[in-house]
Every structure is written in C-alpha cells, then in structure tokens.
Amino acid sequence: MQLSVQKPPTTELYKFTLVVVNTTTQLTGALDLTPNEIKVYQGFIKNPGISAAKMSGLLHMDKSSTYRSVGNLVAYGLLLPSPIGDIMAYRPADPEMLRDRFTAKLHELENARDSVGTFVSAMISATKRKTQVRVEEGLQAVQKSLSESLECTEKLIRERYRYHSFFKNRSHVKFVLSLMEERVKRGIWIHQYADEGIALDPDIKKIEKSTNRYLKEIRILPPGMDDMNSIRIWDDTTNITSEDERGEIVVITITDRYVATFMKKMFDYIWNQSEKA
C-alpha cells in the first residue's frame, strides 16, 4: 500500500513564510541584531559546542558571514567561546539575555525621545516658509535697513536707489560713505541703477561709478521707470524706501525667500537690458 503525503495548500505555505519573515524582521529591529546574527544564534541553541566553520556548513551560510556574526555575538555576550582541543567551539548564553538586550534597547530609545523630537522640530522649522514684513519711518529706519544689508551672505546687493531728500543731510552722507567702505571690506558687490542727470552730493558722486575698487557696477535705469521709490534686495530680503511729495519716508522690509527670488529675477531681467553707466 502506497502512502501519499499531502502538501499544504500554496496559500497556507505563503502565510507561514510571511510569519517567519515578519518575526525575523521584528526581532532584527527589537534586538538590534542582523538576520544573520539571529540565524547563527539560533543555530548554536540547537547545536551548542561546535565550531564556526561547522555552523557555516549546517546553516549553508558562507564562512565570512558566519565568522563575522559569531564575532559580533561574542562581543554582545550572546555566544561564549569554548575551546575543545585545538578547535574553538561556541555555546549560546542564556536566552534570557535577549530579553535584557530588548529592555536595554527600550531604555535607549526612551532616552533618545527628546533628542529625536528636537531634531524633527528643527527640520520642520527649516522647511517651513518664513515671512516677515516690517514697516518703519524716518531716516533712522533707512540707515537701519542699509546696515542690515551688510549681512548679505550671497555677496551681491541689487539696488535701485534714487536721490532722496535725505542725501542733503551731511551726517547721512558720511554714514553712506562709511557703509560703502565696510561693504568693500566684506567683499560684497553691488549692482546699482543710477539717477542719470541728477545733481548728487559731491562726495556721493565720487563713488557713483562702476569700479572694482568699490565692488560696484552701475547701469542706467530704462526710461519711464523712475519714481519716488528705492529698492535694495539681498539674500531673502527685499527693502523698499518710499518718499512722498512732502519728503516723508517709509521703509518697508519684506523677509521672504520666494518674494526675494521673484524680485531678483525682475531686477536681473531689467539689468540685462540696461545700458552701462
């Protein structure tokens, strides 16, 4: 009489395989062990007191991977060397050590909770759009915005600065001259539109020219674009200085990377079509 062995349905075999794979995956993360290390440790549980070379054969694992896993398991205290004559054999430590290893892993993760939270918050903050609008009045606000532009990291300031009434203030002229010297020291170039045909302060007129000495290039603003506003663009900042017919000054500072990028593109488009001064 011939006996037949019935194979499990394919779906049942598939489910069993998934359980084994998922369990190994969970153990790998929970115990901080590689799949090979888990496999080798289980091998020594079943076959204690044999060499790494023999375990390699039993597991059908290449010797280098087996030896590497054995060495790591010894370092973790999960395998204990046990010399037998000239051969180094190994026996497994108490499996309860795996539970201790898992507990230690939990404590490590718990201790890292705050650090991970801080790191993630910093990454979210770095990717979040930052927009700030500031409105100020008067000459002090003008000088404040000019000083801030010296922090320019991209080393290029784009500027259309008209000859405002405050250039009649000698104290402000001295401020502008000192600002120019500091800008040059910091290696910051400036692309500037000039007020053609307008009488400038003599000291200002001396520096209103394209020259490497002042790290400055000047071009003529196209006809029809002159008005009562000045603009200064650097990094993520767009600064607008507006003067009305009465000479009142309003300084609007917009800090936003996307706005600044748009304004730079507009400036450069006009710049590339403008005549050199």
- pLDDT, residue 1, reads 42
For the entire predicted model, the pTM comes to 0.55
The rounded distance, in Å, linking the Cα atoms of 82 and 168 is: 93
Contact 238, 254 (CB under 8 A): yes
- pLDDT, residue 196, reads 58
Residues of the chain with pLDDT under 70: 1-27, 195-200
- pLDDT, residue 25, reads 60
CATH of span 10-97:
1.10.10.10
- pLDDT, residue 198, reads 55
Strand 189-194 relative to strand 156-160: parallel, antiparallel, unpaired? parallel
Domain made up of 132-276: CATH architecture: 2-Layer Sandwich (3.30)
In the chain, CATH 1.10.10.10 covers 10-97
Residues 6+ apart with CB under 8 A from 11: none
The rounded distance, in Å, linking the Cα atoms of 264 and 277 is: 20
- pLDDT, residue 24, reads 56
Which amino acid type is present at position 173?
Answer: V
The rounded distance, in Å, linking the Cα atoms of 93 and 70 is: 13
- pLDDT, residue 205, reads 75
- pLDDT, residue 249, reads 92
In the chain, CATH 3.30.870.10 covers 132-276
